[in-house]
Amino acid sequence: MLKCFYIFKDKSSSRRRGESAPELSNESRRNGNSEGNRATRSTGSVSSPRSIPEMYREREQNLRVFTLSELKEATRNFNRLLKIGEGGFGSVYKGSIQPPNGKGDPIVVAVKKLNTLGLQGHRQWIAEVQFLGVLEHPNLVKLLGYCATDGERGIQRLLVYEYMQNRSLEDHLFNKAVPVVSWKTRLKIILGAAQGMAYLHEGLEVQVIYRDFKSSNVLLDENFNARLSDFGLAREGPAGDRSHVSTAVSDDNVRFCMDAEFL
């Protein structure tokens, strides 16, 4: 059985006025040694593995911080014609942004906009930014940046990802309007998803419990390579003398699929 190591907090950062940088806080530091081949910090003595929040603080500068006006322009003010998906978090729009240096061709992206009345909220948004700000693997979707503003119309929380040309595995399995993929391609997708899961469990200093593995969260790039997406429900796994992580979800209406070995 497993236990949750941290709680979510909404703290403010001054990278831009009116925007809050995502941040998680630990309930306590982890004790004990890491298992297997996971790396530990070199401090002259054996120390516990770093948490996702600690690793995120080292890498947060790799994510772009967008303004709401930039993402409105990118999606033509969240035009319905550019809407490509919708889930518990909110709606997803196809958009186009300028490169970080302002030079070169526009970059096609997917912009996920939080529905404040939806099943997921600010906590899941923070988790998504934190985990995908740390995780890096060919079989995980890439987060390019985020937007967080609080205004007269309430909170605005958005995420910007690389665009996946072939939608999701669910579309190719159940949507009759989308071409059916061959069994060879299906096997390629399965293997890619498995490699992504293996990375989450063994590729970092800490294990990551995905908790939302389903066909709609397996996205496909232009070559039908699988990319796991949606880490709003993810949790850190057990480490050291902490052998239990809670898999409870605060909202009973949120349904998820958890890794079988952690059940």
Distances (CA, A) of 89 to 100, 185, 194, 237: 26, 29, 24, 23
- 212 part of the active site: yes
Catalytically annotated residue among 105, 150, 212, 230:
212
Residue 244 tokens read as 């239990």
d(CA 263, CA 260): 5
Residue 113 known to bind ligand: yes
Both tokens assigned to 189: 């997708």
- Strand 90-97 versus strand 83-86 pairing type: antiparallel
Which tokens belong to 200? 């989450």
8 Å CB contact between 50 and 56 = no
Sign of CA dihedral 85, 89, 91, 95: negative
Task: Tell me the C-alpha to C-alpha distance, in Å, between residue 250 and each of 7, 45, 83, 180.
Answer: 12, 38, 29, 37
Please state the residue numbers annotated as binding site for ATP. Answer: 113
Please state the residue numbers annotated as binding site. Answer: 113
**Catalytic residues, which ones?**
212
